[in-house]
Amino acid sequence: MDKKVTIVGAGMTGSTTAHWLADKEIADLVLVDVVDGMPQGKALDMQEAMPIIGKDVTITGTNDYGPTAGSDIIVITAGLPRKPGMSRDDLLAANTAIVSKVAEETIKLSPDAIYIVLTNPLDVMTYLTWKKTGIPANRVIGQAGVLDSARMRAFVAMELGVSVENINCYVLGGHGDSMVPLTRHSNVAGVPLNKTMSKERLDAIVDRTRKGGGEIVSLLKQGSAFYAPAAGVAQMAEAILKDKQLIVPAAVYMQGEYGLKDIYFGAAAQLGANGVEKIIEYELNDDELAELQKSAQGVAKNIAALGL
Ligand code: TXD
């Protein structure tokens, strides 16, 4: 393949991202991890699955960065996941050290790469990656909104018994409990969401969406969600590699949208060969805007704590 995607952190989300991407047959894959033998073992196992699913993808596992050289996309999932009872912000200190190193090492060998960050706390780690790589902000994107919106879409589909393909939901804001599901802009085959169910049911879906990550963490008891987050990364990587100009909610660098500046934050972003090609700004009412700004304050506080 003439495209290469590197995934740093070959744990649950990293290896599952490789799995979804291999199935799309759009790039060769490199899995990097600090654990001796683990990325090599997972890569080889996945490589051996390729004849079965009929995909000509080369998957390499490594503990050093050499094989990552010339990557088109670098996905960062390296870091600690949440344990039950932890918030995403509790991961800040440990993951700052890990993500800084990963960003600094990878950019040396792949100066033209576009970064997709997954490590939590997501908005802050995306900002950190942008700073540590020193590349233009359009080439650093955080994955959260695709996942949060997909959770909401899944819950709406379960409620209404309608195909997930008919359901459009948009969750903006920081990737935390203050995220902002935009119910007014969400719809089922064009019908506004609030016309499809009672306010009570819709409120319950909004609440479940906000707590969606925690629901999985408490069920799994160790680690956090991985199938859906990884599917989100794979969709974003595909949009970039194929220059699809696909609009998805993602953590992007805000330059005045919704009155926000100098933070990475969840907004609708058009993804193409240059990474973030455009940010789409919705018309929000005063309540929606206030919720977004409140969410932004939490992210800004953590970004300030990085002391960059
Ligand atoms: O939507 C989202 N953004 C998220 C984010 C959804 C799910 C998980 N989210 C976060 O991603 C989670 O809170 C964590 O911060 C990361 C990774 O979660 P994952 O579930 O994949 O964690 P694992 O299975 O522990 O994998 C992390 C791997 C593990 O194998 C470590 O050995 C490795 O990261 N690791 C490193 N790899 C390379 N280099 C360094 N320095 C390193 N340090 C740890």
- What pLDDT shows up at residue 307? 87
What is the whole-number distance in angstroms between the Cα of residue 135 and the centre of ligand 1? Answer: 23
Segment 194-213, tens digit of pLDDT: 999 999 999 999 999 999 99
Domain boundaries, the chain: 4-142, 145-306
* pLDDT score of 31: 98
pLDDT in tens, 21-77: 999 999 999 999 999 999 999 999 999 999 999 999 999 999 999 999 999 999 999
pLDDT at residue 1, rounded to an integer: 87
Which of these, 149, 151, 150, lies nearest to 215 by C-alpha position? 151
Write the residue with the smallest CA distance to atom 30 of ligand 1. 11
CA–CA separation, 247 and 239 (whole Å): 9
CB distance 15 to ligand 1 below 6 Å: no
Distance CA 5, CA 10 (A): 13
Residue 135 Cβ inside 6 Å of ligand 1? The answer reads no
Helices 12-24 and 38-53, interaxial angle, to 10°?
30
Cα of 81 from ligand 1 centre, angstroms:
6
Residues involved in catalysis: 175
Per cent of the chain over pLDDT 90 is 92
Our answer on whether the CB atom of 299 is closer than 6 Å to any ligand 1 atom is no
Task: State the 10-residue block means of pLDDT for the chain, 308 residues long.
Answer: 97 98 98 98 98 98 98 97 81 93 98 98 97 98 98 98 98 92 96 97 97 96 95 98 98 96 97 98 96 95 90
- Distance in Å from the first CA to the final CA of the chain: 38
- The residue to mutate among 19, 118, 151, having the most atoms of ligand 1 within 8 angstroms of its beta carbon, is 118
Probe residue for ligand 1, chosen from 17, 19, 20, 34 as the CB with the greatest number of ligand atoms within 8 Å:
34
Separation of 120 CA from ligand 1 center, angstroms?
8
- Write the DSSP symbol of residue 81: P
pLDDT value at position 308? 83
Q: Taking the domain 4-142, which CATH number applies?
A: 3.40.50.720
CA of 32 relative to ligand 1 center, distance in Å: 11
Q: At what angle do helices 145-160 and 212-220 cross, to 10 degrees?
A: 90
- pLDDT for 89 equals 80
| Cα separation, 307 vs 139, whole angstroms | 22
| Domain 145-306 -> CATH class | alpha beta
Is the shortest distance between the CB of 236 and ligand 1 below 6 Å? Answer: no
- Which long-range CB contacts under 8 A does 131-138 form with residues at least 24 apart? 131/306, 131/308, 132/99, 132/100, 132/103, 132/104, 132/107, 133/103, 133/104, 133/106, 133/107, 134/107, 135/107, 135/111, 137/252, 137/253, 137/276, 138/253, 138/274, 138/275, 138/276, 138/277
Per-residue pLDDT at 235: 98
The answer to whether 67 touches 83, Cβ cutoff 8 Å, is no
